[in-house]
Amino acid sequence: MALIEIKDLHASVDGKEILKGVSLTINPGEMHALMGPNGTGKSTLSNVIAGRAGYEVTSGDVLLEGRSILDMEPNERSNAGVFLAFQYPVEIPGVATSTFLKAAINAKRKFAGQKEIDAMEFLKLVKARAKELNVRDDMLKRPVNVGFSGGEKKRAEILQMALLEPKFCILDETDSGLDIDALKVVSDGVNALRSADRSFLVITHYQRLLSYIVPDFVHVFAGGRIVRSGGKELAMELEENGYAEYVDAA
Amino acid sequence: MAATESTVQTVKDIERYKYGFETDIESDRAPKGLSEDTIRFISAKKNEPEWMLEWRLKAYRLWLTMEEPTWAAVDYPKIDYQESYYYSAPKKSTLKSLDEVDPELLRTYEKLGIPLKEQEVLAGVAVDAVFDSVSVATTYKKRLNEMGVIFCPISEAIHTHPELVQKYLASVVPVSDNYFATLNCAVFTDGSFVYIPKGLRCPMELSTYFRINEKNTGQFERTLIIADEGAYVSYLEGCTAPQRDENQLHAAVVELVALDDAEIKYSTVQNWYPGDENGQGGIYNFVTKRAACRGKRSKVSWTQVETGSAITWKYPSCILQGDNSVGEFYSVAITNNRQQADTGTKMIHIGKNTTSKIISKGIAAGRSDQTYRGLVRILPGAEGARNYTQCDSLLIGDACGAHTVPYIESRNPSAKTEHEATASRISEDQLFYCLQRGIGAEEAVGLIVNGFCKEVLQTLPMEFAVEAQKLVGISLEGSVG
Amino acid sequence: MAEAVTELPIVANARGLPAPGGAPWLADLRGRGLDAFELPGRKTEAWKYTRIDALMKKTAFVPPPLIDEPASSDIPCHLALGAEGHRLVLVNGRFSPELSDLDALPRSVTVQSLASALESDPQAIAPHLGNLQPLEGYPFAALNTGLMGDGLIIRIKDGALVETPLHVISVAHAPGEAPVAFHPRLLVMVGKGAVATLLESHVGVDGGETLSNGVTEISIGADAVFHHYKVQNESLKATHLAAAQVVVGAKAVYEAFALSFGARLSRHDIRVCLDGEGAEARVNGAYAADTGQHMDTSSYIDHALPHGTSAQTYKGVVDGSGRGVFQGRINVARAAQGTSGNQLHKALLLSNKAEVDAKPELTIFADDVQCSHGATCGQLDDDHMFFLRARGLTEDEARGLLIEGFLDDVIDLVSAPAVQASMKDMVHAWLIDRSGRKEAA
């Protein structure tokens, strides 16, 4: 069975249609890249899948393991296994990152009918994952994303992903604003999480991220829908020729 | 908007009042209403010396000439002072030891989470429990006595330490200070008295729990804390009351005196019954709290978590007389439903190089109204004085109000004052971010509000921080990592 | 209370004098004005820091005599804004056609004196006069309403683009012994989509005591952009009370700057109501008060409808025994979701006898808001002073430079370059005067 199935999805914001019939099937273990010019609705797609308020789905459906998720609250979708790495991670003053992580892990455990994680186990788990991602311990004590550099924010997103072990991960322009070193760390983190039953949708404007995270499929997104799909060679072609023909086509 | 609705619901749930039970206990009451006879009755009940009775009567006569203040942003029907009882005590109230405490009373305090049996008491906290008009139990008294600390009901201190009481009572809040303080002078019934001797860092947290139980009864407690030269004390205060349809009056006076190099940390978790969703019932909380930083390098720090009462009218203040003295005010105020709170502080800089810091966090929800009202006054002699003020308000739902009314008066060019205030709501972005990580709306609001208040909550002593956390309905920061 | 007020010389002396216009509505309006006037005292919260009752009780203010108009050459033009403009001169609140210059006025603008409008066609202004200015809570605006006789009515047509500013020069002038009081009234109606600039210069001719008690009512139509720059440079024998009421329509912009150097006592009350969706107000100002001066700025921004934006920055320098007062309130009504309102007041205290009192206030009844206020008070930075001294400046020069920088920084918010330059010149002139005064002392 497909892990994620997006069926002819239409969605609008303030009455203006942004998604104009998106269809996409992602099987377990697959890495998909969604590429396209800015302002064509790529982030809208990720927000609609994650259930952000303010988007109206006018028709179509999104299925996770065969079940529609459109009627679920954002936290229910998260607990069901959908993870969104934000393009702009949000700052929450006063709330220590570790407290936030613990709340998220426990929410997921509660949903799965497990007991809360104990403090020692939690510390061990977080510290181990943090080390892999080059996240310093003091970052865990600082308030969520407050005063983090661009690279730190993105690494913190991947750390959350690693801890929550989702089935389906959306990376929304995770490469934006990263230098080469940070890009490598983030990509290594993502690659380490690739597994036979976990799938990814990587949204990006540039091909550069895809040299580190090699996709199985590449889709070109323009004018609110997927206009072309292919293998990883398509990304190279886009890098070469740009999006002009797709912008015109849309 | 769904997120906002869930936020509003969350706050509703958080605010359910858990201390609304009443205790069925036999009590001894003064006749209803207020007159010179009521005051004589109270004074006689307390077996007070003549000077104390005279002092009360003088205050009462002055009070008769005063008018109830109207400047605060609170709205309530006129209080009929003749409709209240001014003295109510559990019948078995003269105790030699804790073993004699009415078991019903002990159970009440247990329900409140305050065990009065010393072996069960939180290590390192001495408790004075005030039930309606009298102090019913004080723990660890003996151990404290041995160190020279006086911690007893003020009614007792009037007999045992009249010289200290006469020297300091009304020396910070004058009898004529304001309508409610003057009323308190006339009718106060009990409260705590603390004296920390020279050079002693009191090793225990001292704590008083106030409980209004009796119907139609006002509570008028009086607290006086003196930290002698070089002394330190941390004092905690908690308050609850049963759920009743009528309003009850609480008009307390708290005076703190810090001499040279002394430090007093005063923390309050105020959780009087706030009334129901429609504004029926609840405590009218009109309180005068003031500290005199008399000595050089003395320091007073007020921390308050205000979640209860139908109406709060309260401005814990510092008079910074001693050179290099320090005043601090940390406040979290949460109002919901029909609650009204007008609260803040006054920092009066008199001495040289005095510094003050004000951190106020207000959270308004439901149909409540909340005002921060604060005064920072720098007098001409306050060379090098510093003040920093930060007031933030969080609004939850579109039917509440949050207001900031600071007064900043500077009369010394070398002094520096800084004031910042903001008002906003919980951001949809923050809420969505938490939800996306699987955290439910209720918990997400708790987390965000906790983060918003963190700077204040972390100034509370650990024992109280736990209670405050329950009250705010949030998991406490710093417990992990 | 009201009866005692009628005994005040300023009221008693003005009564019984012929006032222009006999329309019943006007008599009614004036009557309501006088009825609403209550002398603010110790317990009047809005006048907590500015006590005026003693002055009003002891000074026998009289209405200005009709004669004695100063010659054009007597008017201290150097104290007025230097920017180019259509000149509209009021002497003691009366419009002076001789001293004014309206020749180049574009057809999209009409200017009329209030006195002539009240005589010739009072019905035409009946719906507008007093329409914006509340009487309750504004005692001196109420007094103005009761005693007003002249002033200006300015109409700017829909869509007009008025390039040259209108410049109202208000001259206070008491040639005789008696202290003179006058109550000018400005009514400005800016049409939809219009763009225009109003300059106000308040100056005094040397002489006796004066009291200028003005009210300005400005309505700004949707999508209009209106700039309003004011300089108050009256003599040290003057009392300057001014209330401005501004209503800003949907998506319209109101930009104001008030600069004060003059008068013994001044109070600048400005209230802006953002009365249309997406309305914007930028209200800024600066003041410099020295010995014997008391300067009060009280602003009130009322966000009545959604998506309004307001920004305020005020800076003050207080020297000698001067006193500065700032009261600023941002109110966000229940309906005004999506509001952004910010305010900042910064004061420099330069002497041991100076005093600054600030009361910035937020009253908020909507939840989707981003509002803030800030207030600071202090002296010049020691490090900055030392740096300048180390570069060879005298203490006085160093202080002057830093004070100038402090005030120029907020004057940079003025969007009209000519006005900005003129205001900076005035700051410079004030500083030169200041060091002259210091040397003399």
pLDDT tens digits, residue range B198-239? Answer: 999 998 888 887 776 666 677 888 999 999 999 999 998 876
Task: Categorize the per-residue pLDDT at B342 as very low, low, confident or very high, splitting at 50, 70 and 90.
Answer: very high
CA distances to A22, A247, B60, B375, C134 from B286, in Å: 62, 67, 17, 18, 34
Q: Report pLDDT for C66.
A: 75
CA distance B256 to B238: 17
Residue B318 · residue B346 · CB < 8 Å? yes
CA distance C78 to B102: 86
Residues of A in contact with B443 (CB under 8 A): 103, 107
Residue in C172, C140, C92 with CA at minimum distance from that of residue C298: C140
Residues of C in contact with B396 (CB under 8 A): 367
Residue in A9, A27, A92 with CA at minimum distance from that of residue A65: A27
Chains C and A: 3 or more CB pairs within 8 Å of each other: no
What mean pLDDT is predicted for residues A63-68?
Answer: 95
Q: Report pLDDT for B444.
A: 86
Counting residues of chain A whose pLDDT is more than 70, the rounded percentage is 98
- Is the pLDDT higher at B274 or at C123? C123
Q: Report pLDDT for B116.
A: 58
Domain CATH number, residue A57: 3.40.50.300
Residue B235 · residue B263 · CB < 8 Å? no
B435 pLDDT above the threshold of 70:
yes
Residue B307 · residue B15 · CB < 8 Å? yes
What distance in Å separates residue A104's CA from the closest CA in chain B? Answer: 5
Task: Categorize the per-residue pLDDT at A138 as very low, low, confident or very high, splitting at 50, 70 and 90.
Answer: confident
- Beta carbons of C367 and B425 less than 8 Å apart: yes
Number of neighbouring beta carbons within 10 Å of residue B44? 11
CA distance B330 to B30: 38
- The helix or strand, by DSSP H or E, that contains position A126, with its residue range, turns out to be helix A119-132
Give the best residue of B7, B433, B456 to mutate against chain A (max A CB count within 10 A).
Answer: B433
Residue C185 · residue C151 · CB < 8 Å? yes
Counting residues of chain B whose pLDDT is more than 90, the rounded percentage is 48
Q: Please tell me if residue A119 touches chain B, with a CB cutoff of 8 Å.
A: yes
Could you give the angle at which helices A97-111 and A119-132 cross, rounded to 10 degrees? 110
pTM, two decimals, is 0.87
- Beta carbons of B413 and C337 less than 8 Å apart: no
CA distance C304 to C335: 7
**Would you call A130 exposed, middle or buried from its count of C-beta atoms within 10 A (0-12, 13-18, 19+)?**
buried
For chain C, 441 residues long, give each residue's pLDDT as a single digit of tens: 444 677 888 888 887 677 777 788 999 999 999 999 999 998 899 999 999 999 999 999 999 887 667 777 888 888 899 888 999 999 999 999 999 999 999 999 999 999 999 988 888 899 999 999 999 999 999 999 999 989 999 999 999 999 999 999 999 988 888 999 999 999 999 999 999 999 999 999 888 899 999 999 999 999 999 999 999 999 999 999 999 999 999 999 999 999 999 999 999 999 999 999 999 999 999 999 999 999 999 999 999 999 999 999 999 999 999 999 999 999 999 999 999 999 999 999 999 999 999 999 999 999 889 999 999 999 998 899 898 898 889 888 899 999 999 999 999 999 999 999 999 999 999 999 888 888 887
Window 61-120 of B, Cβ < 8 Å to C: 71
Residues of B in contact with A50 (CB under 8 A): 432, 436
- Beta carbons of B439 and A107 less than 8 Å apart: yes
What distance in Å separates residue B445's CA from the closest CA in chain A? Answer: 11
| Candidate from B395, B414, B415 with C-beta closest to C367 | B395
Angle at C91 between CA C89 and CA C96, to 5 degrees: 50
Give the distance between the most distant pair of CA atoms in chain B: 69
- Beta carbons of B398 and C366 less than 8 Å apart: yes
Q: Report pLDDT for C439.
A: 80
Q: Report pLDDT for B102.
A: 65
What distance in Å separates residue B88's CA from the closest CA in chain A? Answer: 44
Strand C166-172 versus strand C86-91 pairing type: parallel
Q: Please tell me if residue B408 touches chain C, with a CB cutoff of 8 Å.
A: yes
**Number of domains chain A is built from:** 1
Residues of B in contact with A104 (CB under 8 A): 434, 437-439
List alpha helices for B161-282, DSSP H.
162-168, 179-187
Phi-psi region of C278 (alpha: psi -120 to 50; beta: other; left: phi over 0): left
CA distance C267 to C47: 10
CA distance B453 to B447: 10
Residue of B nearest to A73 (CA): B435
Task: Categorize the per-residue pLDDT at B475 as very low, low, confident or very high, splitting at 50, 70 and 90.
Answer: very low
Phi, psi (deg, nearest 5) at residue A82: -95, 125
Q: Please tell me if residue A107 touches chain B, with a CB cutoff of 8 Å.
A: yes
Residue C46 · residue C142 · CB < 8 Å? no
B479 pLDDT above the threshold of 50:
no
What mean pLDDT is predicted for residues A103-107?
Answer: 93
Query: Residue B56 is encoded by which pair of tokens?
Result: 């009360």
Q: Please tell me if residue A90 touches chain B, with a CB cutoff of 8 Å.
A: yes
Residues in chain C whose Cβ is within 8 Å of chain B: 45, 334, 337, 347, 349-379
Residue of B nearest to A50 (CA): B436
| Candidate from B438, B452, B453 with C-beta closest to A79 | B438
Each residue's pLDDT tens digit, B320-333: 999 999 999 999 99
Mean of per-residue pLDDT scores for chain A: 91
Give the CA dihedral C91, C97, C103, C107, nearest 10 degrees: 90
Residues of B in contact with A94 (CB under 8 A): 450-455, 477
CA distance B454 to A80: 31
DSSP state of B96: S
| Candidate from B3, B437, B475 with C-beta closest to A78 | B437
| Candidate from C357, C371, C379 with C-beta closest to B409 | C357
Mean of per-residue pLDDT scores for chain B: 84
Give the best residue of B360, B395, B396, B400 to mutate against chain C (max C CB count within 10 A).
Answer: B395
- Beta carbons of B413 and C350 less than 8 Å apart: yes
**Structural domain of residue A166, as residue ranges?**
4-249
- Beta carbons of B480 and A119 less than 8 Å apart: yes
- Beta carbons of A75 and B440 less than 8 Å apart: yes
Phi-psi region of B351 (alpha: psi -120 to 50; beta: other; left: phi over 0): beta
Asked which of B29-33, B417-421, C323-327 is least confident by mean pLDDT, the reply is: B29-33
Give the best residue of B368, B404, B425, B449 to mutate against chain C (max C CB count within 10 A).
Answer: B404
Q: Report pLDDT for B432.
A: 94
CA distance C72 to C249: 38
Residue A54 · residue A225 · CB < 8 Å? no
Q: Please tell me if residue B412 touches chain C, with a CB cutoff of 8 Å.
A: yes
Query: Residue B67 is encoded by which pair of tokens?
Result: 């008018």
CA distance B401 to B336: 10
Cα C281 from chain centre: 16
Q: Report pLDDT for B121.
A: 47
Residue C372 · residue B423 · CB < 8 Å? yes
Which sign does the torsion angle of CA B275, B280, B281, B284 carry? positive
Strand C195-204 versus strand C166-172 pairing type: parallel
Query: Residue A161 is encoded by which pair of tokens?
Result: 């992903």
Task: Categorize the per-residue pLDDT at B101 as very low, low, confident or very high, splitting at 50, 70 and 90.
Answer: low
Asked which of B106-115, B219-228, B411-420 is least confident by mean pLDDT, the reply is: B106-115
Query: Residue A150 is encoded by which pair of tokens?
Result: 């661009």
Residues of C in contact with B376 (CB under 8 A): none
Residues of B in contact with C354 (CB under 8 A): 411, 413
Q: Report pLDDT for B114.
A: 59
- Is the pLDDT higher at B96 or at B343? B343
What mean pLDDT is predicted for residues B32-40?
Answer: 90
DSSP state of B354: -
Q: Report pLDDT for B120.
A: 46
